[in-house]
Amino acid sequence: MSWWGDLLRRARIRSVKEGKVQTARTEATENDSKDDVERWQDYGFAGNPGDGQGLVINAGGHTIVLRLDRIAERPQLAAYEVAVWHKEGHMVRLKEGRVVEWDCDQFIVNASAGVIFNTPTVTASGEIVAELKMQAPTIDAATSLKVTGKEMSLHAHTGVQLGTGTSGPPA
Protein backbone atom coordinates (compact mmCIF):
# COMPACT_ATOMS: atom_id res chain seq x y z
CA MET A 1 0.00 0.00 0.00
CA SER A 2 1.24 3.54 -0.70
CA TRP A 3 2.27 5.97 2.04
CA TRP A 4 -1.13 7.70 1.93
CA GLY A 5 -3.14 4.44 2.14
CA ASP A 6 -3.54 4.74 5.90
CA LEU A 7 -3.77 8.54 5.99
CA LEU A 8 -7.58 8.77 6.04
CA ARG A 9 -9.92 5.97 7.05
CA ARG A 10 -13.25 5.14 8.60
CA ALA A 11 -13.22 4.09 12.22
CA ARG A 12 -15.44 3.23 15.14
CA ILE A 13 -15.16 5.91 17.79
CA ARG A 14 -15.58 4.77 21.40
CA SER A 15 -15.37 6.23 24.92
CA VAL A 16 -15.48 9.95 24.13
CA LYS A 17 -14.11 11.90 27.10
CA GLU A 18 -14.72 15.59 27.78
CA GLY A 19 -11.84 17.97 28.36
CA LYS A 20 -10.31 21.07 26.77
CA VAL A 21 -10.15 18.83 23.71
CA GLN A 22 -12.29 15.70 23.62
CA THR A 23 -10.44 12.42 23.35
CA ALA A 24 -11.67 9.00 22.28
CA ARG A 25 -10.62 5.50 21.35
CA THR A 26 -10.50 4.84 17.60
CA GLU A 27 -10.83 1.38 16.09
CA ALA A 28 -10.05 1.53 12.37
CA THR A 29 -8.97 -2.09 11.89
CA GLU A 30 -8.24 -5.05 14.12
CA ASN A 31 -4.59 -3.98 14.24
CA ASP A 32 -5.16 -0.22 14.30
CA SER A 33 -6.76 0.89 17.57
CA LYS A 34 -5.62 3.94 19.45
CA ASP A 35 -6.57 5.53 22.80
CA ASP A 36 -6.65 9.25 23.68
CA VAL A 37 -7.13 10.37 20.07
CA GLU A 38 -8.00 14.08 19.90
CA ARG A 39 -11.38 15.24 18.56
CA TRP A 40 -11.35 18.96 17.76
CA GLN A 41 -14.59 20.91 17.22
CA ASP A 42 -15.33 24.21 15.52
CA TYR A 43 -15.75 27.34 17.63
CA GLY A 44 -19.33 27.79 18.86
CA PHE A 45 -20.30 24.16 18.27
CA ALA A 46 -19.97 21.43 20.83
CA GLY A 47 -21.36 17.96 21.13
CA ASN A 48 -20.64 14.65 22.77
CA PRO A 49 -22.23 11.95 20.65
CA GLY A 50 -20.84 9.07 22.69
CA ASP A 51 -19.89 6.07 20.58
CA GLY A 52 -20.29 6.40 16.83
CA GLN A 53 -18.67 6.13 13.44
CA GLY A 54 -16.28 8.61 11.92
CA LEU A 55 -13.21 9.48 9.94
CA VAL A 56 -9.71 9.58 11.37
CA ILE A 57 -6.56 10.97 9.85
CA ASN A 58 -3.12 9.53 10.60
CA ALA A 59 -0.25 11.90 9.84
CA GLY A 60 3.28 11.98 11.17
CA GLY A 61 2.52 9.41 13.86
CA HIS A 62 -0.39 11.51 15.17
CA THR A 63 -4.06 10.53 14.82
CA ILE A 64 -7.06 12.86 15.11
CA VAL A 65 -10.80 12.33 14.69
CA LEU A 66 -12.03 14.45 11.76
CA ARG A 67 -15.72 13.59 11.86
CA LEU A 68 -17.96 11.69 14.25
CA ASP A 69 -21.59 10.71 13.60
CA ARG A 70 -24.31 8.52 15.04
CA ILE A 71 -25.70 7.06 11.85
CA ALA A 72 -28.50 5.04 13.49
CA GLU A 73 -30.26 8.11 14.98
CA ARG A 74 -29.42 10.70 12.32
CA PRO A 75 -32.60 12.40 11.01
CA GLN A 76 -33.45 12.20 7.33
CA LEU A 77 -33.52 15.74 5.94
CA ALA A 78 -34.79 17.28 2.72
CA ALA A 79 -32.22 18.82 0.38
CA TYR A 80 -30.62 21.96 1.90
CA GLU A 81 -32.18 21.42 5.35
CA VAL A 82 -29.94 21.82 8.38
CA ALA A 83 -30.62 20.37 11.84
CA VAL A 84 -29.17 20.35 15.32
CA TRP A 85 -30.46 17.09 16.72
CA HIS A 86 -30.34 14.69 19.63
CA LYS A 87 -30.59 10.90 19.52
CA GLU A 88 -33.97 11.09 21.36
CA GLY A 89 -35.51 12.97 18.43
CA HIS A 90 -35.69 16.57 19.59
CA MET A 91 -34.16 19.02 17.16
CA VAL A 92 -33.99 22.48 15.67
CA ARG A 93 -34.42 22.36 11.92
CA LEU A 94 -33.80 25.10 9.33
CA LYS A 95 -36.20 24.44 6.48
CA GLU A 96 -37.00 25.82 3.05
CA GLY A 97 -39.00 29.05 3.01
CA ARG A 98 -37.05 30.63 5.94
CA VAL A 99 -38.83 28.32 8.41
CA VAL A 100 -37.21 27.36 11.72
CA GLU A 101 -38.89 24.35 13.34
CA TRP A 102 -38.32 23.22 16.95
CA ASP A 103 -39.33 19.71 18.04
CA CYS A 104 -39.09 19.05 21.77
CA ASP A 105 -40.99 17.99 24.88
CA GLN A 106 -40.12 21.12 26.86
CA PHE A 107 -38.82 24.48 25.61
CA ILE A 108 -36.96 26.61 28.17
CA VAL A 109 -35.66 30.14 27.61
CA ASN A 110 -33.24 31.60 30.17
CA ALA A 111 -33.04 35.31 29.35
CA SER A 112 -31.68 37.63 32.04
CA ALA A 113 -32.62 40.84 30.18
CA GLY A 114 -35.84 39.92 28.34
CA VAL A 115 -37.37 38.17 25.35
CA ILE A 116 -38.57 40.02 22.26
CA PHE A 117 -40.96 38.63 19.67
CA ASN A 118 -41.32 40.83 16.59
CA THR A 119 -44.19 39.12 14.81
CA PRO A 120 -47.64 40.12 13.59
CA THR A 121 -49.33 36.97 14.99
CA VAL A 122 -48.86 34.23 17.54
CA THR A 123 -50.77 30.97 17.11
CA ALA A 124 -51.11 28.36 19.85
CA SER A 125 -52.97 25.08 19.71
CA GLY A 126 -52.77 24.44 23.46
CA GLU A 127 -52.94 26.47 26.62
CA ILE A 128 -50.59 29.40 27.24
CA VAL A 129 -49.89 29.95 30.93
CA ALA A 130 -47.80 33.00 31.78
CA GLU A 131 -47.27 35.81 34.23
CA LEU A 132 -46.99 38.87 32.04
CA LYS A 133 -46.69 42.59 32.36
CA MET A 134 -48.03 43.86 29.07
CA GLN A 135 -48.12 47.26 27.49
CA ALA A 136 -49.99 46.93 24.22
CA PRO A 137 -52.61 49.01 22.45
CA THR A 138 -54.60 45.89 21.50
CA ILE A 139 -54.63 42.32 22.72
CA ASP A 140 -56.61 40.02 20.43
CA ALA A 141 -57.51 36.55 21.73
CA ALA A 142 -59.61 34.43 19.39
CA THR A 143 -61.01 32.03 22.00
CA SER A 144 -60.13 32.89 25.57
CA LEU A 145 -58.19 35.44 27.60
CA LYS A 146 -57.83 35.31 31.37
CA VAL A 147 -56.52 38.23 33.41
CA THR A 148 -55.74 37.56 37.10
CA GLY A 149 -57.68 34.31 36.78
CA LYS A 150 -60.82 35.99 35.39
CA GLU A 151 -62.14 35.02 31.97
CA MET A 152 -62.45 38.15 29.81
CA SER A 153 -64.54 36.66 27.00
CA LEU A 154 -68.25 37.31 27.76
CA HIS A 155 -67.48 38.13 31.39
CA ALA A 156 -69.91 39.84 33.77
CA HIS A 157 -69.27 42.82 36.03
CA THR A 158 -70.46 43.52 39.56
CA GLY A 159 -71.86 46.87 40.71
CA VAL A 160 -73.21 47.92 37.30
CA GLN A 161 -75.02 51.31 37.37
CA LEU A 162 -76.70 53.30 34.64
CA GLY A 163 -75.15 56.59 33.62
CA THR A 164 -71.55 57.74 33.43
CA GLY A 165 -70.32 55.81 36.48
CA THR A 166 -67.98 52.81 36.35
CA SER A 167 -68.77 49.23 37.11
CA GLY A 168 -67.05 46.94 39.55
CA PRO A 169 -64.35 44.45 38.57
CA PRO A 170 -65.12 41.31 36.51
CA ALA A 171 -67.13 38.75 38.43
Q: Who's near 34: CB < 8 A, 6+ residues apart? A: 25, 26, 63
Q: Is residue 3 part of a domain?
A: no
Burial class (CB in 10 A: 0-12, 13-18, 19+), 13: buried
pLDDT at residue 81, as a whole number: 94
Identify each DSSP E strand in the chain by its residue range: 8-17, 22-29, 32-39, 52-59, 62-69, 82-85, 91-95, 99-103, 146-147, 150-151
pLDDT at residue 9, as a whole number: 86
- 122-141 pLDDT, tens digit per residue, is 787 877 777 666 666 666 66
Q: Is residue 148 part of a domain?
A: no
Q: Is residue 48 part of a domain?
A: yes
C-alpha–C-alpha distance, residues 36 and 65, integer Å: 10
C-alpha–C-alpha distance, residues 155 and 151, integer Å: 6
User: Which residue did the predictor score with more confidence, 96 or 126?
Assistant: 96
Q: Is residue 162 part of a domain?
A: no
Domain housing 59: 8-69
Say if pTM beats, i.e. exceeds, 0.95: no
User: Which residue did the predictor score with more confidence, 20 or 144?
Assistant: 20
pLDDT for residue 43 is more than 90: no
Q: Is residue 17 part of a domain?
A: yes
pLDDT band at 4 (very low <50, low <70, confident <90, very high): low
The closest alpha carbon to 51, from 79, 17, 90, 28, belongs to: 17
Q: Is residue 45 part of a domain?
A: yes
Q: What is the mean pLDDT of residues 49-70?
A: 87
Q: Is residue 58 part of a domain?
A: yes
pLDDT for residue 80 is more than 90: yes
Tally of domains within the chain: 1
